[in-house]
Structure 1
Amino acid sequence: MNSQSGLPADLSRFGNVEGYSHYPKTVTPGLPAPAGGGLLKWYDIAEAATPVTRDTSALAQRFLAAETATGRLKLKGELGFVILHRCGGDFHFLLVSSWRNANEMWETVYAKTSDAPDFSLFPLPGPHRATFCVWELAAVNHERLAFSRYLYSARDEAAKRAYLEDYYEGGA
């Protein structure tokens, strides 16, 4: 251990990422989506050359509307955001995040494979599980900062509009 930093002297066995080349994706905002009594900002994430298609976006919006209409997803007047992430090929995550208990982000994860007709709940086994990937965190970090600004505000109509109109757009 290095006594100054607390780090081991040899880091060769930590954080090794092999057989993977990282590449850029783009975060594109969409129109807000009313859902289950809540109001959610919308983000598409994909490689610039292979964006989320209109058909997939429309399918995701219909699916989200059905989940909330049936009561499987209840957002009780919450604010939040959706990330529709094209993860290469035709696999998509639909990540629904809402703000609860004043300052907590809650999430429901859906996915659609190329051979599936619709989205479905994505199983998240085990106590230590995936949350957001590095590309999704671009939008998530923006939303964290935007919601913090909202929490510091008067939380009135103007503050809600300011939050709902504050989107991230750009590289991830």
Structure 2
Amino acid sequence: MNVDEDYRHITKMITPGPPLVLPDVYLKWYAVCRADQSIDSAEARAFLAGEVAAGRLAITGDVGFVIHHLSGEHVHLLLVCTWRGNNEMWETVYISDAGPFTLMPQTTHRGVMCVWEFGAVAHEHQAWTEFLRSDRTEKARQRYAESQFSGPI
């Protein structure tokens, strides 16, 4: 097993926030951090809106979700996930270590997400699958938009 002997796993909280709604883009919002922390997502939301407006984050027409994860004391991760190709989750990851957000470097074998982020992803998988199995009416879209996970993970 590849786990440090001195590692102690903690519980974090997933808290849904208001969606990021841009022209032709709808993203649910999740904050992930320890219970004794809080995340101010205003800067992250403005950053993503700017990335979309500038065409650097090409997600026009997409629906999905963002996970804003405070890792440790000051590292912020933004996982931008959208649904494409009917049943595929696409992802762009940004990182900020006490500075501006930048794209996470791409490598041949890289971390995908941590166990805490999987809580939101598992919920979104179920919610999107339910939408795909529905009649995909406006009412079904609304049910998907309103379905969010909240709680310890």
Q: 1:88 offset after TM fit, Å?
A: 1.1
Name 2:20's counterpart in structure 1: 33
Secondary structure class of the residue paired with 2:115: coil
Of structures 1 and 2, the larger Rg is shown by: 1
- Taking structure 2 as the reference length, the TM-score comes to 0.95
Gaps of 5+ in 2: none
Secondary structure class of the residue paired with 1:102: coil
- Check if 1:122 corresponds to 2:97: no
Name 2:36's counterpart in structure 1: 49
- Check if 1:93 corresponds to 2:77: yes
Identity of aligned residues (%): 44
Gaps of 5+ in 1: 1-13
Are the equivalent residues in 2 in contact too, given 1:33–1:40 (CA < 8 A)? Answer: yes
For residues 82 and 65 of structure 1, the distance between their equivalents in structure 2, rounded to whole angstroms, comes to: 12
Between Structure 1 and Structure 2, which shows a larger proportion of strand residues?
2
Q: 1:124 offset after TM fit, Å?
A: 2.5
Q: Deviations over 1:90-112 (max 9, x none)?
A: 11001100000000000000011
Are the equivalent residues in 1 in contact too, given 2:79–2:93 (CA < 8 A)? Answer: yes
1:134 maps to a residue whose letter is V
- Check if 1:20 corresponds to 2:7: yes
Name 1:68's counterpart in structure 2: 52
Q: What is the aligned length? A: 153
For residues 143 and 36 of structure 1, the distance between their equivalents in structure 2, rounded to whole angstroms, comes to: 22
Q: 1:50 offset after TM fit, Å?
A: 1.1
Secondary structure class of the residue paired with 2:81: strand
Q: Deviations over 1:97-134 (max 9, x none)?
A: 000000000000001111x1x211111312x2111100
- Taking structure 1 as the reference length, the TM-score comes to 0.85
Cα RMSD, aligned residues only: 1.2
